[in-house]
Amino acid sequence: MARSALLNVMVQAAMKAGRSLSRDFGEVQNLQVSMKGPGDYVSQADRKAEDIIFTELSKARPGYGFLMEERGAVAGDDDQHRWIVDPLDGTTNFLHGIPIFAVSIALERQGQLVAGVVYNPAMDELYTAERGGGAFMNDRRLRVAARTKLSDAVIGCGVPHLGRPLHGQFLVELRNVMGEVSGIRRLGAASLDLAYVAAGRMDGFWEVGLSAWDIAAGMLLIREAGGFLSDMDGGQDMLESGSLVAGNEAIHRGLAKTLKRPIKG
């Protein structure tokens, strides 16, 4: 598969960071870890991967701005372009030796997502998408799952971090969804949750309390795999609100409706 120059730049940065993560994953007990908030950890591995991505992307596209989980916003001379980067999505899994984590890199041009890469180094799975060009896993074209009934669907979700004021809302949502679907999963890395929906491995997904870097690349994967997305209010403010519901057209509609249902006794 011939990739565009832009995707090549992103893939190179993601894979180089992925190799650094794989090395650190092999000796996770030696890493320095600190806490950003309750249940929210950051390690040397996150920062090393972020430094690699920052250096690679700055070299390849001087002047583009950044939004990165650990550095925050970094303004560039070019205000038309912004990289949105999570250097290690799934830090909790990573620190516990669970091989479900990823590098996530997206590019916004004039406020619109135009390219996205999610790389899971432990499985060597590379997800790529460019606006209008389809979504791929390694060389395979992706398509969201075709199941249309919630009762057949496996749905992914995210559990809000300890200390985030969203637990009550989550439990209501979970109870509503559990009554309708065939199975629920919680991978612990939102970028991979979205990649799995794009790949048709999971039929749908929802989570609230996310950040733009968790979802920007995965959102484009889903759109380019023929899927549907909205925030929890049915709008398109996923990056700003950090809430997201996804699936094929029918699952997205059914899931969004189920999530909003008031709880029955």
- Contacts with ligand IPD by CB under 6 A lie at 69, 86, 89-92, 158, 161, 188-190, 207, 209-210, 214
Least Å distance between CB 212 and Ca ion?
10
Least Å distance between CB 20 and Ca ion?
14
Q: Which residues bind Ca ion (CB under 5 A)?
A: 69, 86, 88-89, 91, 214
- Under DSSP, is residue 178 helix (H, G, I), strand (E, B) or coil? helix
User: Among all residues, whose Cβ is closest to Ca ion?
Assistant: 89
Specify the residue, 189 or 255, whose C-beta has the smaller distance to ligand IPD.
Answer: 189
- Can you tell me the distance from the alpha carbon of 119 to that of 189, in angstroms, rounded to the nearest whole number? 11
- Can you tell me the distance from the alpha carbon of 118 to that of 101, in angstroms, rounded to the nearest whole number? 10
Least Å distance between CB 78 and ligand IPD?
26
Exposed e or buried b per residue across 242-252, where buried means at least 16 C-beta atoms within 10 angstroms of its C-beta: bbbbbbbebbb
- Number of residues written out for the chain: 265
Least Å distance between CB 258 and Ca ion?
25
Least Å distance between CB 214 and ligand IPD?
5
Specify the residue, 118 or 126, whose C-beta has the smaller distance to ligand IPD.
Answer: 118
* Partner from Ca ion, ligand IPD, none contacting 218, C-beta within 5 to 8 A by type: none
* Partner from Ca ion, ligand IPD, none contacting 188, C-beta within 5 to 8 A by type: ligand IPD
- Can you tell me the distance from the alpha carbon of 116 to that of 224, in angstroms, rounded to the nearest whole number? 10
Least Å distance between CB 196 and ligand IPD?
12
Specify the residue, 46 or 224, whose C-beta has the smaller distance to ligand IPD.
Answer: 46
Question: Half-sphere exposure of residue 199, counting CA atoms within 13 Å on the CB side?
Answer: 18
Specify the residue, 147 or 189, whose C-beta has the smaller distance to ligand IPD.
Answer: 189
The residues, any chain, with a CB within 8 Å of residue 88's CB and separated by 6 or more, are: 21, 43, 45, 46, 49, 50, 94, 101, 102, 103
> How far is C-alpha 126 from the geometric centre of its chain's CA atoms?
13
User: Which of 108, 107, 127 is CA-nearest to residue 117?
Assistant: 127
Specify the residue, 158 or 254, whose C-beta has the smaller distance to ligand IPD.
Answer: 158
Specify the residue, 71 or 161, whose C-beta has the smaller distance to ligand IPD.
Answer: 161
